[in-house]
């Protein structure tokens, strides 16, 4: 099959591109190479993809002509592109235009096609709100601009599905970590601070936060499991993540153990909208997709440390 991946040079998107290419699919990637974090890191991801036969085109979903890449011969679209996280430096417009308008422009192009691709929207546990421990039937209560705009994008995709304009599904991902994780996220920053003897910015109250930290390859397992299950997945929402909860403090301790160092903490005010607890309820994904993440936090963090040391040596 021919598959289009948006956000292909990003963290999870690049891993998904690699997996699909190794499965024998023809993969086309697009990314706007946003300066939200060091573009050089995205270029490294794009280079790794080129090595497995995937070319990543520079495309901004908000402004560019999408009909060049969204064409009749595309069988699947995996839509990872988004303004991520809850960074203070990101404005509401950043979240709204990247997460909602970009999605809407894609759907408008798809609607014009006679042969429409199956659309896999990549959503987030932030849709649930300050606690994300629920099944997919729970009413959403997002508490951040990120969560609000990702929910809006998800419901826009499902509205197109309900109206019969296309077929698709939405996957809500939980606390993904591993090689290529963004430098602003917990573990890449922790590893950086531990190796380079820098203070780690610790947000007030965050050490007791509970998270379904999920290794990136376990997430990719769930993402690609949709293929071949179009009838089952059409119009459905699935949680993808680990059922094992760990505190942020536990994560810090695991990284310190792997690096054999003590990381200095620099206290910061709590971030508004930050989740206090996530625990993936994956009963639906297990039953319908055969989803079963296996990687322990220690195993995943050893792989992430090895990646960091190799990339930034």
pLDDT in tens, 31-83: 999 999 999 999 999 999 999 999 999 999 999 999 999 999 999 999 999 99
How high is the pLDDT of residue 128? Answer: 97
267 — pLDDT class (breaks 50, 70, 90):
confident
In a domain, 40, yes or no: yes
CA–CA separation, 161 vs 150, rounded Å?
17
Query: What is the number of domains present in the chain?
Result: 1
Among residues 146, 174, 177, 187, which one is catalytic? 146
In a domain, 299, yes or no: no
Q: CA separation (Å) from 227 to 35, 243, 259?
A: 32, 23, 38
How high is the pLDDT of residue 272? Answer: 73
In a domain, 147, yes or no: yes
Domain carrying residue 29: 2-176+214-240
Structure tokens at 73: 């011969």
Task: Please name which of 313, 311, 305 lies closest in space to residue 257, comparing C-alpha atoms.
Answer: 305
Q: What is the pLDDT of residues 209-256, one digit of tens each?
A: 899 999 999 999 999 999 999 999 999 999 999 999 999 999 999 999
Structure tokens at 75: 């069988």
3-state helix, strand, coil in the chain (%, to 5): 40, 20, 40
Give yes or no for residue 273 having a pLDDT over 70.
no
Whether 243 contacts 232, CB under 8 Å: no
How high is the pLDDT of residue 207? Answer: 83
% of the chain at pLDDT higher than 90: 90
Give yes or no for residue 271 having a pLDDT over 90.
no
In a domain, 291, yes or no: no
Q: Residue 191 is inside which H or E element, if any?
A: helix 186-196
How high is the pLDDT of residue 292? Answer: 97
Instruction: Please report the sign of the dihedral spanned by the C-alpha atoms of residue 243, residue 271, residue 252, residue 222.
Output: positive
CA–CA separation, 189 vs 192, rounded Å?
5
Residue 146 bears catalytic tag: yes
Domain of 102: which CATH number? 3.40.50.720
How high is the pLDDT of residue 277? Answer: 87
In a domain, 302, yes or no: no
In a domain, 201, yes or no: no
Q: What is the pLDDT of residues 164-220, one digit of tens each?
A: 999 999 999 999 999 999 999 999 999 999 999 999 998 887 888 899 999 999 999
In a domain, 86, yes or no: yes
Q: At what angle do helices 186-196 and 297-311 cross, to 10 degrees?
A: 60
Give yes or no for residue 88 having a pLDDT over 70.
no
In a domain, 22, yes or no: yes
Give yes or no for residue 87 having a pLDDT over 90.
no
How high is the pLDDT of residue 203? Answer: 82
């Amino acid at each position: 099959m021919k598959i289009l991946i948006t956000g292909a040079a990003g963290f999870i998107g690049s891993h998904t591109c690699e997996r699909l290419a190794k499965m024998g699919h023809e993969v086309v990637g697009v990314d706007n190479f946003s300066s939200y974090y060091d573009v050089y890191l995205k270029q490294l991801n794009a280079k790794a993809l080129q090595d497995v036969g995937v070319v990543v085109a520079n495309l901004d979903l908000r402004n560019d002509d999408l009909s060049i890449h969204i064409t009749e011969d595309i069988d699947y679209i995996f839509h990872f592109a988004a303004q991520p996280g809850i960074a203070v430096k990101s404005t509401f417009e950043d979240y709204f235009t990247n997460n909602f308008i970009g999605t809407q422009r894609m759907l408008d192009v798809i609607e014009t096609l006679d042969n429409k691709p199956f659309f896999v929207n990549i959503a987030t546990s932030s849709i649930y709100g300050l606690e994300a421990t629920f099944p997919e039937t729970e009413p959403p209560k997002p508490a951040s601009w990120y969560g609000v705009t990702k929910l809006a994008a998800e419901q826009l995709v499902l509205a197109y599905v309900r109206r019969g304009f296309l077929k698709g599904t939405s996957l809500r991902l939980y606390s993904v970590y591993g090689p290529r994780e963004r430098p602003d996220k917990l573990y890449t920053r922790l590893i950086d601070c531990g190796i380079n003897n820098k203070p780690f910015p610790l947000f007030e109250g965050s050490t007791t936060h509970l998270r379904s930290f999920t290794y990136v390859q376990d997430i990719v397992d769930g993402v690609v499991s949709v293929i071949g299950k179009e009838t089952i997945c059409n119009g459905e929402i699935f949680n993808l993540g680990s059922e094992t909860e760990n505190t942020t403090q536990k994560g810090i301790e695991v990284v310190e153990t792997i690096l054999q160092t003590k990381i200095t903490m620099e206290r910061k005010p709590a971030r508004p909208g930050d989740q206090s607890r996530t625990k993936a309820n994956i009963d639906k994904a297990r039953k319908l997709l055969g989803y079963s993440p296996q990687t322990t936090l220690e195993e995943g963090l050893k792989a992430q440390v090895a990646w960091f040391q190799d990339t930034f040596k």
